[in-house]
Structure 1
Amino acid sequence: MYQCRAWTYVAVLAVCLCWSSLQAGVQGQNITDPVEVTALKAIKKSLIDPNKNLSNWDRGDPCTSNWNGVFCFNKALDDGYLHVQELRLLNMNLLGTLSSELGRLSYMTILDFMWNNISGSIPKEIGNITSLELLLLNGNKLSGPLPEELGNLTNLDRIQIDQNQISGPLPKSFANLDKTKHFHMNNNSISGQIPPELSRLPNLVHFLLDNNNLSGYLPPEFSELPQLLILQLDNNNFDGSTIPASYGNMSKLLKLSLRNCSLQGPIPDLSRIPKLGYLDLSRNQLNGSIPPGKLSDEITTINLSNNNLTGSIPANFSGLPQLQRLSIANNSLNGSVLATLWNETTLNTTERLILELQNNKLTNISGSTEIPQNVTVWLQGNPVCSNVNLDNFCGSEIDDGSDSESSTNSTASCPSQACPPPYEYLPVVCFCAAPLPIEYRLKSPGFSDFRPYKSTFEEYLTSGLNLTLDQLDITSFVWQKGPRLQISLKLFPVYVANANNNHTFNLSEVQRIIGKFTSWTIPDRDLFGPYELLQITLLDPYKNVTASSNKSGVSKGALAGIIVGTFAGAVTLSAIVSLFIMRRHKRNHRAISRRRRKSKSSVKIDGVKDFTYGEMATATNNFNSSAQIGQGGYGKVYKGTLADGTVVAIKRAQEGSLQGEKEFLTEIELLSPLHHRNLVSLVGYCDDEGEQMLVYEFMSHGTLRDHLSAVRSKEPLGFEMRLRIALGSARGILYLHTEANPPIFHRDIKASNILLDSKFVAKVADFGLSRLAPVPDIEGDTPAHVSTVVKGTPGYLDPEYFLTHKLTDKSDVYSLGVVFLELLTGMQPISHGKNIVREVNIAFQSGMIFSVIDGRMGSYPSDCVEKFLSLALKCCQDETDARPSMAEVVRELENVWFMMPESESKITESVSSDKTGKAVSDPPSSSNAGKNPYVSSDVSGSDLVSGVIPTITPR
């Protein structure tokens, strides 16, 4: 064993020497511009990174050390420095704000913060990055107006700020963005008039500003945009505005969507637009008749429903070869329904035609009433439906199934369960491979039914990715509001018959595919419109793929030379080092063995009293059964009175208990230096006459579990007291995690290990299973977890710790979350086969949270209970990273506390205490940390101030 340990140390030394040499090799390379290094550090400082995705931003040089998400030019520019070319930080659960220092990355071409939780405003300094081509900020919580300075980005190709909270007007300076093709700004709160000046944009292709607060009029000048393909402005308020007649001159327009925009007046003649494929003018106040001109043969969707249209159905709606949906429902159309609408349509097996004609004044059908199998006609609410023979036209509306679909790939003949997860069969052949699951969305598709275009889409996507059709499997698709089409797909490694196939993509191929999506190098196709990448899931075989794969830095040959040379040196040292370490370990082993052979330990801890067996026997009336107040796996617990009159609790280990001996030493080592008002104090110990006992301060009100039990408790706790107990417990654990030196993971937090003193101050007890938190390694990095055998109490165990044996501070957060649920519901963690977390989650999701609240709690403020319960469920998330930190838990509990009625009186009644925890007070506000010695002595003020709880949806 000692030889193994010795060689471990040798290996560590070798790695260190390799790293030092590697760094020395890097020193000879070009480095990143110091201005940009400073800027990147400021960018990180302004962000909150709960998942530690930017942890390597504190080490080495950004370009040569491959900082996560930082991509650099592969050679130095004229100034001799390397420069940041791309910053890709998408989907990293980042919070915080965008730093103005972004403007110092003056060579950057791609800025990507998509799908995070970043708030605050867009820095105007981004307008200084004149090289920028892609500005991707969609899917955050950004607010405030759009900076005028963004109009300086003269090389910008795409601006995506959709799905934020941006307000204010569109800057007129955007008219200077001569190279910009894509304006994606939907789902914000942008207001005011669309600047007519934007009609000068020579390359604008997509203009998506639906779901905003735009007003004023539709600029007629937009008809002059030479490249415009999509104009999508749904759900704005152009109150009283008309659709300019000049829009009929948009020669390249593919999609015009102006749904629910408070538009009035007639529909312009759009028959001169040769490739118009999608027209939605529904939910306005348009009037007059439908123009008689025939629309493009490319048209798939015509939606003119919910207007004030009159006249008859135009004959030119018949014979449109690509038409999938015609909706003119809820108008005042009259006359005949032309049977040519369905009789002149030729459909294959995957094509459908839906004709929505209901709620008009149509009186009869002109022509055959036989409907082809793939056609649906709805005529409800028209006079024609008074004819009893038209059930196939006037029956109930049905779902045609075009909204969603799941894949049924051709693997039925393959052996069942033959691919071990995460491997799956390729769609066509019985070959196990690890896919890349991808969530992908079409933001403005040019059709209403995806099924006829599914094969076309597969060809389009695989050709854009340089893959074969066999490598793509569309598992499902679903229509979302917009309408947008979300597609779940999987990409598989290539399969070649009679070849030695790989079961996984190689590293460079994964990076190439990701780069294709994130840099928008898959060419657009008119029919499918713009797309967005929502998520790529990296399964186990691909988890070592990092977002940053810079080409700058040390070459592979140089790196190999450095490592080989360094390793040779390390091997030379191995004999000396291993001999030294083995001798040292043998000496330590002999010393430990001698100590363990002693019948009595002679533990001496400063500040903790060493009692004799006789003193303990006297204190408990010779361990009389009447003095026994509890019993656990360690042994029995007695109430005792010391010679000086101090009342204590004495925990006596069972005779011969190895577990008891281990917990005895653990508790003394861990508890003796800890002093906090929410931790049970260790008064002393006894290690005498073969007995081991621990002596604690006496907690007269027993365990929290007893007070939550309907059988044991005499007086039920009210909500205010329960909240106070929760806050005290959380503060005690926060002290363990952040102020104890070294920090401690408790590992057995439960209601029976939270004790209450004479004034109901909560104190965390029982440190027999506790573990020291990991310490920094040789490089100064602190591991995120301790690998250990799973121990704890069922019902309180962190699921991820149980599965992986990785103990973290979030394991304690989970256990405390279960205690919170006990406080709120009175339930036990596991009772009659029911798990408290699952039961409360079900009630939460069904909107019945108050049905599980403990009725013995009496009256309570519902908003406080909801907030407390929501926090408890956040703590009990299955995934470690989804849980808040203990500092965040304390902060949130304090917020709930000060939501309580009469919170002012609670502030004035606060009593400060020192670290001994002798005094009792109501929970003070963390905002008074600088004034209240109770807060400053108990908790790190910086931890409290910086604590932010991310938005988490309980499940």
Structure 2
Amino acid sequence: MKIMDFMWNSIGGSIPKEVGNITSLELLLLNGNQLTGSLPEEIGFVPNLNRIQIDQNHISGSIPKSFANLNKTEHFHMNNNSLSGQIPPELSRLPSLVHLLLDNNNLSGYLPPELSQLPKLLIVQLDNNNFSGSSIPSSYGNITTLLKLSLRNCSLEGPALDASGIPQLGYLDISWNQLTGPIPSGKLASNITTIDLSHNRLNGSIPGSFSGLPNLQRLSMENNNLDGSVPSDVWRNIDFSGNRSLILDFHNNALTILANPLTPPANVTILLSGNPICTSQNQLNISQYCQSTSVVVPGGSTNNDTLCPPCSTDLPHENILRSPIPCLCAIPLHVDYRLKSPGFWDFVPYEAEFQHYLSSGLSLSSYQLEVSTFMWEEGPRLKMNLKLFPNNTALFNSGEVLRLRDMFTGWLITDSDIFGPYELIDFIPGWYENVLPRRTKSSLTTGATVGIVIAAFAAAAILSSLITLIILRRHSSQISKRRNAKKIQMKIDGVKDLTFEELSNSTSNFSDSALIGQGGYGKVYRGILADGTGAAVKRTQQGSLQGSEEFFTEIELLSRLHHRNLVSLVGYCDEDNEQMLVYEYMPNGNLRDHLSAQAKEALSFPMRLRIALGSSRGILYLHTEADPPIYHRDIKSSNILLDSKFVAKVADFGLSRLAPLPAMEGVAPGHVSTVVKGTPGYLDPEYFLTHNLTDKSDVYSLGVVFLELLTGMQPISHGKNLVREVVAANQSGMILSVVDTRMGPCPGECLERFAALGLRCCRDETDARPSMAEVVRELETIWQMTPETDSVPLELESESVSMDPSRTGTQPSSWSAGGSMMAYQYMSSSDVSGSNLPSGLVPSTNPR
């Protein structure tokens, strides 16, 4: 047996270790299921294995070191699972490996420099893992075969990679990390399409080496600390004929100079908002580039305009748009297809090349293949629907249908450098169904048939493992029959479909001893899943149940959100009038509990600052990276959870938090709501009055959390409002009277800037508040100023003074809250309560 294909069959259970006994196996295709457990190390001893596709399951545990024995393996696809631990450096011994896809897991440790020794490596995709403290090995800049390197959102530190030594590099993404230092000035490969260095801490000027790259589609450097000149000729040597375009995103940096006039072609988009140059009165001619604008990755469909008369409706005929025979009608085959790691940002300029590549691989003429629709998914991955037409006739013959089906399912199409590895999602024969052997994805017959075929080739141990798979499929089918007949069946990547019985067992039958939270939606229980993973089970009460379609839409949305400062969705349950969401468990509870007077240990100032920064990064991700964008609406300290290392993770966001879409003509604006959602004390006053929700509404709520971190107090306590009390204390020169002494001594300038930022966020006027990107940048600056140790000397007693600019130098850029602040090297407050607002220390004020 050479092929084991169980793709997209909703199989549960674990991978049997007996698979390792199938010595003739070449393709192991288990992606798109609900497999759990760990990877059997026995797989590493299958000598002929060429392709491992176990992506989009729930596999946990580490990658076995035995996989380094797979000398013939070219494709290593294990993305979208729950793998943890270190990437084994031993994988560098794989002589044939071309694709290493491990993105969207829980991998940690350091990036192995040894991967640069792989002689045939083309694609490295490790996005959305947690290599905290690791830097990008400089040796990765010497992988001469590399076509794509994607290390997005991996908690990487240190300098940016100098990739100028990679001669064929077409795609580089090292965004959403904590990289520092200047951008390397070496010239990148001429065929590069995408360069994303955004959301880091890079400084210095933008090198001129990004000019003259003929295939460049996007250059993203937003949300860094870059200064100097705005590049004015990046588009040099780019041919903008046809549908070519270029995005240059430099917003939220410190660019101040325009050395040459900006005269880009019409197809070039430049984004400069959030740079000082946009506020310079001498640069009015660039105002068009200073608007707050987001760029959406384009999707689309084929233009079906034709002058031909409609085809007959008796059969599902369609016009073949590019047929050499005018107005030829034929019945197409449909194929759902996905590019798992494309080497470009915009598909439109590559569409014709893709049609030629794939039609050639299928031995079809180019006009016989049409991309009906395409859309980008998280990854980024490109999903599309293809139509295949017969050659100058109305119908495929049966032999051609079977040949095409076998070409797709047998992985007989050669991978392309620019389009990367592909995935067959579904081959849809439609009208030609009677040509193919009858089979149903959800039936047991398929599993039994496959079991019989494999048993003919395998030993008794293998037969045993396949019987196990069949039993699991029967069990899954029985469970499905018990569910509500109206439930919408769908597969959601990376999220476990759990049964009520499984969750009941994990929570000791939802016992009170497992109860860890309760709200208007229902109750939250601590649970231990079957694989030993800790989880928080959110059980919706009867009055809060959603329709199945809405419920699954919310799950699908949540499953696409991956950020180290967001609580991850692990699974869900929708059966027997029960709807439950299962999240990763946060052992250190919520921030509010740690700020209360009853907390066993107080949070130090550096810990509070780190929590503020992590929470802000999570919210910034929701605003700018989620698709569609999400406004939280209910940010509060009890919705900021802390993991075992006190890393902050924002919770309680979902479908009800979708950011408003632009208003359409004749339709009421989507951002005006008749019901204000939120928690008293955290509500944006402008949103409360106008019901007009914006991203600055979240900024206000987060500012209240910052003031909670500063004071330890609650937003509303004993009739007093936290924001008004802190503003009054600041204006009276008594800001130290409200600072929480339990956090110990802290640097005065850091405390000053943090308090100023919190007050800016809580300004009544929306326009006076900073953007989330500005909040993150200011917190990163304060963090860099904060000593790494908590043991700082106490050099200041509490006193009431006003800030003297002559003593402190220039005011911090974040200062616009009004009033006065303290500015000394180190600062500590007097002994005041950490739970209630002090009485008598500040002028009496009325609550908001």
**Normalising by the residue count of structure 1, what TM-score does the alignment of the two structures yield?**
0.46
What is the correspondence of 1:732-881 to structure 2 with a 5 Å cutoff?
A: 863-864=541-542
- The 1-side partners of 2:261 and 2:188 are apart by 24
What is the correspondence of 1:276-675 to structure 2 with a 5 Å cutoff?
A: 276-386=169-279, 387-397=283-293, 399=295, 402-409=297-304, 412-416=306-310, 418-428=312-322, 429-495=326-392, 501=393, 503-546=394-437
- The 2-side partners of 1:303 and 1:817 are apart by 44
Report the counterpart of residue 24 of structure 2 in structure 1: 131
- The 1-side partners of 2:219 and 2:8 are apart by 35
SS at match of 2:19: helix
SS at match of 1:165: coil
Post-superposition CA distance 1:581-614 (Å, at most 9, x none): xxxxxxxxxxxxxxxxxxxxxxxxxxxxxxxxxx
- The 2-side partners of 1:374 and 1:871 are apart by 39
Distance 1:343 1:204, change over 3 A: closer
Matched, 1:188 2:84: no
Aligned 8 A contact 2:311 2:329 in 1: no
Aligned 8 A contact 2:318 2:330 in 1: yes
SS at match of 1:389: helix
Post-superposition CA distance 1:158-185 (Å, at most 9, x none): 0000000000000000000000000000
Post-superposition CA distance 1:122-176 (Å, at most 9, x none): 0000000010000000000101100000001110110000000000000000000
Aligned 8 A contact 2:483 2:576 in 1: no
- The 2-side partners of 1:892 and 1:313 are apart by 55
- The 2-side partners of 1:849 and 1:283 are apart by 33
Counterpart amino acid of residue 451 in structure 1:
V
Aligned 8 A contact 2:175 2:197 in 1: yes
Unaligned 5+ segments in structure 2 are 440-477, 488-519, 523-538, 553-573, 580-848
Post-superposition CA distance 1:829-868 (Å, at most 9, x none): xxxxxxxxxxxxxxxxxxx999xxxxxxxxxx96356779
- Measured after TM superposition, the shift of residue 364 of structure 1 is 2.0
SS at match of 1:388: helix
- The 2-side partners of 1:230 and 1:181 are apart by 11
Distance 1:306 1:870, change over 3 A: closer
Report the counterpart of residue 198 of structure 1 in structure 2: 91
Report the counterpart of residue 261 of structure 1 in structure 2: 154
Greater alpha carbon shift after TM alignment, 180-189 vs 361-370? 361-370
SS at match of 2:343: coil
- The 2-side partners of 1:388 and 1:420 are apart by 62
SS at match of 1:457: helix
Counterpart amino acid of residue 90 in structure 2:
E
Counterpart amino acid of residue 415 in structure 1:
P
- The 1-side partners of 2:51 and 2:320 are apart by 35
Report the counterpart of residue 640 of structure 2 in structure 1: none
Report the counterpart of residue 806 of structure 1 in structure 2: none
- The 1-side partners of 2:310 and 2:175 are apart by 49
Aligned 8 A contact 2:521 2:541 in 1: no
Aligned 8 A contact 1:343 1:371 in 2: no
- Measured after TM superposition, the shift of residue 520 of structure 1 is 1.0
Counterpart amino acid of residue 182 in structure 1:
H
- Measured after TM superposition, the shift of residue 813 of structure 1 is 11
SS at match of 1:149: helix
Report the counterpart of residue 273 of structure 1 in structure 2: 166
Aligned 8 A contact 2:125 2:150 in 1: yes
- The 2-side partners of 1:542 and 1:244 are apart by 52
Unaligned 5+ segments in structure 1 are 1-107, 496-500, 549-808, 819-847, 851-860, 875-890, 897-955
Counterpart amino acid of residue 408 in structure 1:
N
Counterpart amino acid of residue 416 in structure 2:
R
- Measured after TM superposition, the shift of residue 425 of structure 1 is 1.5
Distance 1:174 1:815, change over 3 A: closer
- The 2-side partners of 1:370 and 1:295 are apart by 24
How many residue pairs get matched? Answer: 465
SS at match of 1:310: strand
Aligned 8 A contact 2:483 2:575 in 1: no
SS at match of 1:120: coil
SS at match of 1:478: strand
Post-superposition CA distance 1:35-74 (Å, at most 9, x none): xxxxxxxxxxxxxxxxxxxxxxxxxxxxxxxxxxxxxxxx
- The 2-side partners of 1:246 and 1:236 are apart by 20
- Measured after TM superposition, the shift of residue 416 of structure 1 is 2.7
Distance 1:363 1:436, change over 3 A: same
- The 1-side partners of 2:119 and 2:126 are apart by 19
- The 1-side partners of 2:144 and 2:484 are apart by 64
- The 2-side partners of 1:198 and 1:310 are apart by 34
Aligned 8 A contact 2:368 2:388 in 1: yes
Distance 1:509 1:862, change over 3 A: same
- The 2-side partners of 1:109 and 1:817 are apart by 40
Post-superposition CA distance 1:802-837 (Å, at most 9, x none): xxxxxxx9xx9999979xxxxxxxxxxxxxxxxxxx
SS at match of 2:48: coil
- The 1-side partners of 2:369 and 2:200 are apart by 42
- The 1-side partners of 2:385 and 2:407 are apart by 17
Aligned 8 A contact 1:871 1:892 in 2: no
- The 2-side partners of 1:251 and 1:895 are apart by 54
SS at match of 1:482: coil
- Measured after TM superposition, the shift of residue 894 of structure 1 is 10
- Measured after TM superposition, the shift of residue 535 of structure 1 is 1.0
- Measured after TM superposition, the shift of residue 399 of structure 1 is 4.2
The structure whose Rg is larger is 1
SS at match of 2:541: helix
Aligned 8 A contact 1:419 1:432 in 2: no
- The 1-side partners of 2:250 and 2:142 are apart by 29
Distance 1:297 1:343, change over 3 A: closer
**Normalising by the residue count of structure 2, what TM-score does the alignment of the two structures yield?**
0.52
- The 1-side partners of 2:484 and 2:149 are apart by 54
Q: How many percent of aligned residue pairs carry the same amino acid? A: 55
- The 2-side partners of 1:484 and 1:221 are apart by 27
- The 2-side partners of 1:423 and 1:462 are apart by 21
SS at match of 2:42: helix
Residue from 216, 238, 243 that aligns with 2:109: 216
Aligned 8 A contact 1:438 1:535 in 2: yes
- The 2-side partners of 1:260 and 1:862 are apart by 32
- The 1-side partners of 2:483 and 2:575 are apart by 15
